[in-house]
Amino acid sequence: MVIDSEKHYPAAFQDYLQTLTDLIRRYPDARILELGGGRLPSFKLDQLPSNIASYTVNDIDPAELAMTSDEYDKACFDVVGDVSQFTGQFDVIFSRTLIEHVNDGVKMHENVASLLKPGGVAFHLAPTLYSPPFVLNKMLPERLSQKLLYTFFPKRGAQKDKFPAYYSWCFGNRAKMTTMLLKAGFADATIRSFYGHDYFRKIPIVRQIDHFFSTLAARRDWSTFGSYAHIIARK
Ligand SMILES: C[S@@+](CC[C@H](N)C(=O)[O-])C[C@H]1O[C@@H](n2cnc3c(N)ncnc32)[C@H](O)[C@@H]1O
């Protein structure tokens, strides 16, 4: 049994930049903001779409931003804090694997809506509940989940790139997410669900059972059990 490539989790990462670029191209002189861009902003500066007027990279952690070239415009702030100094300034706001690390998902989306210009768009790539590895990550104490990740994925240990994750409002269920996004200040939302993951690849039997279930969920489009989502919300 295989998962259709359009719905399989690698596509969440492979299609991210193209989806984002297509959204940005709709805005002449686009002012764009990346949230939680930290040490690895989504765009290299020479890859930026030509219609961009400004590209600001945010992170809560100055040490993460310091790992990124000073050629980027940087803004160090908490996406669930007071963001009023930037109200209504951006056409496109986006993030890749940020929102699971934020402790108040609703506040984050409300803040994003307030930072957008009218007609602006938000785009987030995020892991979602109730995919089993993310449920485990949420339930286990951070030190234990970090130890497990760095044991099974030594490369991640070398990069020391695991951040505490809360999964606040990181649900796969599209109807539930859409209702929340409309309440948070968006006019509409479109969510693309992805299925499967590779966290259990070194654990036989568990891997096979999980793969069977992920494939079934993908075929039936049970978004509640999706593993990643592309969340597009228009103001
Ligand atoms: C998993 S990393 C993702 C980094 C980058 N987007 C990428 O794709 O590699 C999560 C980033 O979000 C940042 N972060 C966590 N909570 C945040 C918050 N409340 N406001 C802004 N940034 C935050 C972390 O410091 C970290 O750099």
Q: Would you state the pLDDT for residue 150?
A: 85
Domain coordinates in residue numbering, the chain:
10-234
Residue 109 Cα to ligand 1 midpoint, Å, equals 15
**101 residue type, one letter:** H
Structure tokens at 159: 């990069």
Give the residues across from 31 on adjacent strands: 54
Q: Would you state the pLDDT for residue 148?
A: 86
9-53 pLDDT, tens digit per residue, is 999 999 999 999 999 999 999 999 999 999 999 999 999 999 999
DSSP characters over 2-36: ---TTTBTHHHHHTHHHHHHHHHTTSTTEEEEEET
Q: Please name the CATH architecture into which domain 10-234 falls.
A: 3-Layer(aba) Sandwich (3.40)
Q: Would you state the pLDDT for residue 161?
A: 74
- Helices and strands counted in the chain (H then E): 9, 7
Protein residue whose Cα sits closest to atom 10 of ligand 1: 98
Mean residue pLDDT across the chain: 95
Rounded Cα–Cα distance for residues 131 and 227 (Å): 5
Element (H, E) at 189: strand 188-194
139-155 pLDDT, tens digit per residue, is 988 888 888 888 888 88
Give the residues across from 57 on adjacent strands: 34, 74
Q: Is 100 in the pocket of ligand 1 (CB under 6 A)?
A: no
